[in-house]
Amino acid sequence: MHQPDPETRQVVNFGKNIRFTPHRYYVPRSEDEILEILDRHAGEQIRVVGSRHAWSEGIVSRDVVLDLRHLNQVEISEVGPGEIQATVGGGCQIKRLLEQLHRRSGATMPALGLITEQTIAGAISTATHGSGRQSLSHYMEEIRTAAYDPVTGRARIYVWNAGDELRAARCSLGCLGVILAVRFRCVPMYLVADRLEQCTGIDQILDHEADYPLQQFFLVPHMWGWFAQRRETSAELRRSWYAGLYRLYWFLGIDVGLHLAIKLMVSVLKSPKTVRFAYRRLLPQSIIRNLTVVDHSDRALVMEHELFRHMEIEIFVSAKHLRRAAAIVQEILMAFDSRTFEPSRATVHDLQQIGMEQQLQDLRGTFTQHYVVTFRRVLPDETLISTTAGSEEPWYAISFITYAEPRDAFLAMGTFLLKSMIALFGARPHWGKFCPLSQEEAAALYPRLPDFRAICRRVDPRGVFQNDFTRRVLGFDEQSQSPRLRCA
């Protein structure tokens, strides 16, 4: 994990889109020390950093930043025959947690994102997810935090293991205080059979979803074809003898090779023509297809996506809107790529309904998508405000990534995609990625937001744990804003 720059004391995130210099940067070693810091800075702004892999502005604080890297203990206990539970310090990185679980108990986490660099507290704070299961937030059974006592105003410890407090703490964007530790039920280490297939369209992918519950799938730009990473798990599986070789191929060929090629195309050559040619002719042919590889879940489900700096926006739509959303996404990407592209009548009609058709006309030809669009299915979470909260049906997370800098054109496209999807489908953006959401939009999208805010106010009446970002997206009212102003 990075430290702030020793000279400038500047804190910088993975995407390098966030830089700020807090007055104080603490790396506490104990819960008591955290309580003391909270009391000492009770009239200021306090935020916590994990491993800084979020692109949204959740970590930003003008006053105090806490870095919990030393609170990284992993306690494993057997709570029933074959039932393993882990109690983990908030600053523990997921890769360390996985290694400890595997080595000491043969267990693993119930869900995983694409990388394992995040801390457990950082990951749940923005509802980090993979494909085919709920987000990590959902699985937390107990969350221990440091916040303020509403009566005395002093810092104290809360332990939440039931009710709306737990649902709120499972995904809280850092607004409920400092997450000191979490407890969750582990699952036995399992094997995943993974096969990359080219498909005729999204229907073919979705028709087999029941057979491949962990699958994720891709829309390949410019070729406008579909690939699916078919993934299933079963007790019958045996690890493939060539799994290690396949991991090596994936690391050298995809994690490094493919991403280096993309970086070269967008940062050095800066040629949309080359990007289009590569996606139509080269990249789909150079990927190993139709080979089933069985490997441990913590290898099969992750990749080294953190090797090259990039930026992402991820937009969630509920299952009933997926097909239409996918069709519109493709047309929007085509329009951004070409000044002469004319969207279909259905899309023009939909965009006219929400008053965004002219805007798309104006933005045509301003950005060439240069990365596959990834789709992952995320089941409804038992939380108040995570991206799949309060739903009866699964959601699909649609991810857009850029390796190009400057990123203005990509961000304009991401904003257009998000705003149109909100208006058409009630879409929700990932809290940890580029997140241009307004509080009015959030209020309409998250019915339990008022309950979430009420719980935050109880344990943080002065709004110490809020920053401009959380106020913008979560709409805390004046009572809990700007502790400095009210103290003055």
Ligand X SMILES: Cc1cc2nc3c(=O)[nH]c(=O)nc-3n(C[C@H](O)[C@H](O)[C@H](O)COP(=O)(O)OP(=O)(O)OC[C@H]3O[C@@H](n4cnc5c(N)ncnc54)[C@H](O)[C@@H]3O)c2cc1C
Nearer to ligand X among residue 222 and residue 259 (C-beta):
259
Say if residues 34 and 179 touch (Cβ distance below 8 Å). no
Task: Please tell me the distance from the alpha carbon of residue 201 to that of residue 194, in angstroms, as a whole number.
Answer: 19
Which one of residues 51, 85, 108, 383 is an interface residue with ligand X (CB under 6 A)? 51
Q: Contacting ligand X (CB under 6 A), which of 50, 272, 429, 483?
A: 50
Q: In the complex with ligand X, which residue's Cβ is closer, 125 or 347?
A: 125
- Least separation in angstroms between residue 59's CB and ligand X is 5
255 binds ligand X (CB under 6 A): no
CB 482 within 8 A of CB 461: no
Amino acid at position 395, single letter? W
Q: Which of these segments, 42-50, 153-161, 229-237, 479-487, binds ligand X (CB under 6 A)?
A: 42-50
Work out whether 45 is an interface residue with ligand X (CB under 6 A): no
Q: Would you call 178 helix, strand, or coil by DSSP?
A: strand
Shortest Cβ 216–ligand X spacing (Å): 10
Per CB under 6 A, the list member of 45, 108, 125, 297 interacting with ligand X is 125
Minimal distance in Å, beta carbon 51 to ligand X? 4
Q: Cα–Cα distance between 260 and 268 in angstroms, integer?
A: 11
Angle, helices 322-337/345-353, rounded to nearest 10 degrees = 100
Structure tokens at 209: 């979803």
115 forms part of the interface with ligand X (CB under 6 A): yes
The CB-side HSE value for 48 (13 A sphere, CA atoms) comes to 30
Give the three-class secondary structure for 61.
coil
The yes or no reply on residue 121 touching ligand X (CB under 6 A) is yes
Segment contacting ligand X by CB under 6 A, of 120-128, 200-208, 213-221, 246-254: 120-128
Binding-residue pattern over the window 139 to 178 for ligand X, x denoting contact by CB under 6 A: ----------------------------------xx---x
Assign 204 to helix, strand or coil.
helix
Comparing C-alpha atoms, which of 219, 255, 241, 256 is closest to residue 292?
241
Query: Which of 262, 335 has the CB closer to ligand X?
Result: 262
**Based on CB atoms, which residue is closest to ligand X, 68 or 445?**
68
- x/- track of binding to ligand X for residues 75-94 (CB under 6 A): ---------------x----
The stretch among 109-117, 249-257, 259-267, 456-464 that binds ligand X (CB under 6 A) is 109-117
| Least distance in angstroms from the C-beta of 93 to ligand X | 8
Q: Is 100 in the site for ligand X (CB under 6 A)?
A: no
* Helix or strand (DSSP H, E) at 261: helix 259-263
- Of 430, 358, 349, 439, the closest CA to residue 395 belongs to 430
Residue 14 as a binder of ligand X (CB under 6 A): the answer is yes
Q: Which of 18, 37, 48, 455 touches ligand X (CB under 6 A)?
A: 48
Is 28 a binder of ligand X (CB under 6 A)? no
Q: Using the rule CB under 6 A, which residue among 72, 105, 108, 128 binds ligand X?
A: 128
Nearer to ligand X among residue 70 and residue 273 (C-beta): 70
**Exposure of 12 by Cβ count < 10 A (0-12 exposed, 13-18 middle, 19+ buried)?**
middle
CA distance 259 to 279: 13
Q: Is 119 in the site for ligand X (CB under 6 A)?
A: yes
**Contact yes or no for 31/91 (Cβ under 8 A):** no
Name which position in 53, 133, 230, 377 contacts ligand X (CB under 6 A): 53
Contact between 191 and ligand X by CB under 6 A: the answer reads no
Instruction: Return the closest-CA partner of residue 388 out of 432, 307, 438, 445.
Output: 445
Residues 36, 463: Cα–Cα separation, whole Å: 18
Contact call for residue 22 and ligand X (CB under 6 A): no
| 49 makes contact with ligand X (CB under 6 A) | yes
Query: DSSP assignment of 39-79, as one string?
Result: HHTTTS-EEEESSS---SGGG--SSEEEE-TT---EEEEEE
Q: Of 272 and 432, which has the nearer Cβ to ligand X?
A: 432
User: Residue 432 interacts with ligand X (CB under 6 A)?
Assistant: yes
With a CB cutoff of 8 Å and minimum separation 6, the contacts of 242 are 293
**How far does Cα 350 stand from its chain's mean position?**
28
Choose which of 64, 179, 385, 455 interacts with ligand X (CB under 6 A).
Answer: 179
For the CB of residue 454, give the shortest distance to ligand X in the complex, in Å: 19
Q: What is the DSSP string of 124-172?
A: HHTT---SSS--GGGGEEEEEEEEE-TTT--EEEEEE-SHHHHHHHHS-
Q: Which of 97, 107, 114, 417 binds ligand X (CB under 6 A)?
A: 114
Distance from first CA to last CA of the chain, Å, rounded? 37
Judged by CB under 6 A, the chain residues 58 through 77 that form the site for ligand X are 58-59, 68
- Written as one letter, the residue type at 77 is S
Cis-peptide into 406, omega within 30 deg? yes
**Shortest Å distance, C-beta 347 to ligand X:** 28
DSSP class of residue 269 equals I
Q: Which of residues 299-328 bind ligand X (CB under 6 A)?
A: 305-306
Which positions touch ligand X (CB under 6 A)? 14, 47-54, 58-59, 68, 90, 113-115, 118-119, 121-123, 125-126, 128-129, 173-174, 178-179, 305-306, 430, 432
